[in-house]
Structure 1
Amino acid sequence: MPRIIYSNNGASPFERLLGHNPDILEAWNELNKRFSSSLLDDEIKEQVRRTLAFCNGCEYHMAQGKAIVERSNKRLALAVDFARMVTNNHLNIRDDVFDVMKAVFTDAEIAELCAFIFFTNASHKFGATLKLKPE
């Protein structure tokens, strides 16, 4: 049982918690939709999302499974590793990490990856803090 009751707004349990503030729910969902038509491919975003769910201890999102990272896919492996670094200590990432990132991602992709990571971290921390569980 989550720490607060579900609202009547939203389609999923996560949205029904966020739905206590309909304007925030609407803006949140709009930003989430923007990531669906993005520079990064869906596999990268999904494996980063799964990685972050476990980093953040969000049981609701962890229920979809652990990340599957094929190390031979350099872009995927690097994105997942970077997501872990950002979540563990975003202030401790060295410049040479970005040099490696720039070898396989454009600046626009790096900016989007950062935005996706921070947005997803916020979602997972919201769910974990409110003790949202899978149904």
Structure 2
Amino acid sequence: MAMISFSQNGSTPFQQLLGHNKGILERWTSLEESIYSSGTFLSGLKEEVRRTLAFHNGCEYCKAKGAPSQNIMDSRTQTAVYLAELSGKTTHISDEEFNALKEVFTDSEISELLALICFITACQRFGALLSLGPVCQI
């Protein structure tokens, strides 16, 4: 059970927790739509990043949607997942790690990928801090 009540605003349990602040919910949802509607990365890459981060961020709601894949064949997805894992361990990316990123992604893609990772982390930390569980009655 979540630590606070669900509001009437929003269509998911996460949104209904954030929905106590309608203006924030609207802007948060707009940013989410912008990030997820971008065609820069395939949806499978975004989902693997989300799954990886769920286990680093401790969000039970997000972890219940599935564990990260064990056999990722696509090098871009592998690199994105590595970056997601790294972001859960440190706030610094070494020159060597950045050079490896630049072999796979453009500067624009790195910027967007880090924005995706940070946004997902914020969502998942919010859910974890409020004990948003995998099965929530709203």
Q: Same fold (TM over 0.5)?
A: yes
- Between the two proteins, the alignment pairs up a number of residues equal to 134
Q: TM-score, normalised by structure 2?
A: 0.93
Q: TM-score, normalised by structure 1?
A: 0.95
Partner of 2:43: 42
1:71-110 paired onto structure 2 within 5 Å: 71-91=72-92, 93-110=93-110
Partner of 2:121: 121
CA distance in 2, matches of 1:72, 1:41: 14
1:8–1:19 CA contact under 8 A, matched in 2: yes
1:36-75 paired onto structure 2 within 5 Å: 36-38=36-38, 39-75=40-76
1:70–1:77 CA contact under 8 A, matched in 2: no
SS in 1 for 2:89: helix
1:6–1:16 CA contact under 8 A, matched in 2: yes
Q: More deviation in 108-117 or 65-74?
A: 65-74
How far did residue 114 of structure 1 move?
0.2
1:47–1:69 CA contact under 8 A, matched in 2: no
Q: Which runs of 5+ in 2 are unaligned?
A: none
CA distance in 2, matches of 1:37, 1:60: 22
**Amino acid corresponding to residue 33 of structure 1 in structure 2:** E
SS in 1 for 2:91: helix
4+ aligned runs moved over 2 Å, structure 1: 69-72
1:49–1:120 CA contact under 8 A, matched in 2: yes
SS in 1 for 2:103: helix
Q: Deviations over 1:67-97 (max 9, x none)?
A: 1153431111110011111121122x21111
Q: Which runs of 5+ in 1 are unaligned?
A: none
Partner of 1:32: 32
